[in-house]
Amino acid sequence: MKAIKIIGVILGIICILVLVAGIYVKTALPNPGPPPELTIEKTPQRVERGKYLANHVTVCMDCHSSRDWRYYSGPMAPGNQAGGGEKFSREMGFPGIFFAPNITPYRLKTWSDGEIFRAVTGGVNKDGKALFPLMASHRFGKMDREDVYSIIAYIRTLDPIKNDVPERELDFPVNFIVNTMPQPPAFSTMPAESDRVRYGAYLINAAGCVDCHSQVENGSVIKGTEFGGGMEFKQPGGTVRTANISPDRETGIGKWSEAMFLSRFDTYSSDKFVKREVAPDELNTPMPWTMYAGMKKSDLQAIYAYLQSVKPISNRVERMEKTQ
Ligand code: HEC
Ligand code: HEC
């Protein structure tokens, strides 16, 4: 009897603790602090740099605009530049339904520069509510502040697009856990371009290659699988997997010359890319080739140099596997 009573009391205490923890996580977190006091001057240099980064490196425009998946590699669909609405659903493996918000002045005109800065680098919205880390604010928070200022200067100049995006739906328990996810930024200083490997590492962090080119579990990269590929995208016709871009000589890109690497992107550059409809029995690639292909040659060279310096991972990946 006594033992049962003690177990009862312990269970009671555990229940109370879980409840208190739940209330804490739901109401007291996240705790990002006030947005920084900022006025970002929109100099032509910043707008230009921001345009480059947002379209070709951090690819903000990829998620916050629409891509036309009728064509191979899903090039940008005209007409909805940064107007949002792209849906990320449960069928795609997300814990709920998410929509990329509109980031044109139509929505952001009431946000201060500091609020946008805090959202992009700290993962909370205007009201301080946690954003789901589908957008990698933890990576953007490792960039050079100046680059983030440039991106904000640029998105402030976009044409307002009148498009109201639905609210997200979060499944249990992620509706609780999401509040523990925002991370405080840890800004860096952009390395000199001549320091090729470190500069490449800076770009690759901003570009998010690792988020796709690794194996992931519950939305996080599994340690030790970085750049080894294998992340799966299910499509009606089969499965597409990310390539091994680590320098393993047999299964990765260890034998690729720099020229081969550059030409793989060059096919998708704006002057060479030819829109081609995806055949009914063909798989499409989620890799935002047409956006990254707009990167400066020297930036892609730095990315190549960095990739050749990471740990080789032996992992043979079948990139496109059709279901018969
Ligand atoms: C992988 C896709 C993706 C990329 C890349 C991305 N975002 Fe986002 N962003 C999202 C999603 C999805 C949300 C909403 C998350 C949520 O509702 O929890 C979001 C939220 C935001 C918000 C908050 C808006 C609001 O109304 O709450 C801003 C501002 C923003 N992103 C700007 C940017 C900028 C600037 C970049 C580039 C530096 C960028 N995003 C890159 C997907 C992305
Ligand atoms: C949205 C997910 C995603 C992101 C982000 C992404 N990739 Fe990919 N990538 C893929 C997929 C899927 C494939 C395999 C299909 C294909 O070849 O297009 C691929 C293929 C490649 C290939 C071709 C490898 C081969 O064997 O032919 C290279 C090179 C590559 N990616 C490099 C990069 C680099 C560099 C970055 C960052 C600048 C990057 N990827 C970002 C999804 C992604």
Q: Which ligand is nearest to the CA of 240?
A: 2
* Residue 57 CB less than 6 A away from ligand 1: no
Taking residue 58's Cβ as centre, other Cβ atoms within 10 Å add up to 26
* Residue 245 CB less than 6 A away from ligand 2: yes
Which of 16-20, 68-72, 108-112, 117-121 has the weakest average pLDDT? 16-20
Question: Atom 5 (ligand 1): residue with closest C-alpha?
Answer: 60
Q: How far apart are CA 319 and CA 288, in angstroms?
A: 15
Atom of ligand 2 nearest to the CA of 264: 29
Residue 246 burial by Cβ neighbours in a 10 Å radius (0-12, 13-18, 19+):
buried
Single-letter residue type at 28: A
The preferred substitution site among 202, 242, 260, 318 for testing ligand 2, maximizing ligand atoms within 8 Å of CB, is 242
Tell me the per-residue pLDDT of 160-195, one tens digit each, with 9 for 90 and over: 999 999 999 999 999 999 999 999 999 999 999 999
Residue 317 confidence class, pLDDT cut points 50, 70, 90: very high
Atom of ligand 2 nearest to the CA of 292: 38
Question: Atom 34 (ligand 1): residue with closest C-alpha?
Answer: 60
Q: What residues contact residue 138 under an 8 Å CB cut-off, 6+ apart? A: 123, 183
pLDDT of residue 46: 98
* Residue 230 CB less than 6 A away from ligand 2: no
Atom of ligand 1 nearest to the CA of 102: 26
* Residue 209 CB less than 6 A away from ligand 1: no
* 85: nearest Cα among 139, 163, 6, 172: 163
Question: Atom 17 (ligand 1): residue with closest C-alpha?
Answer: 131
The preferred substitution site among 64, 117, 150 for testing ligand 1, maximizing ligand atoms within 8 Å of CB, is 64
Q: Over 70: is that where the pLDDT of 1 sits? A: no
Q: Over 80: is that where the pLDDT of 213 sits? A: yes
Question: Atom 23 (ligand 2): residue with closest C-alpha?
Answer: 243
Q: How far apart are CA 229 and CA 318, in angstroms?
A: 10
Distance of CA 115 to the CA centre of its chain: 19
CA dist list (Å): 112 to 34, 295, 320: 12, 29, 44
Do the Cβ atoms of 310 and 247 come closer than 8 Å?
Answer: yes
CA of 210 relative to ligand 2 center, distance in Å: 10
Tell me the per-residue pLDDT of 272-305, one tens digit each, with 9 for 90 and over: 999 999 998 899 999 999 999 999 999 999 999 9
Question: Atom 39 (ligand 2): residue with closest C-alpha?
Answer: 209
Tell me the per-residue pLDDT of 51-110, one tens digit each, with 9 for 90 and over: 999 999 999 999 999 999 999 999 999 999 999 999 999 888 889 999 999 999 999 999
Single-letter residue type at 242: T
Single-letter residue type at 213: H
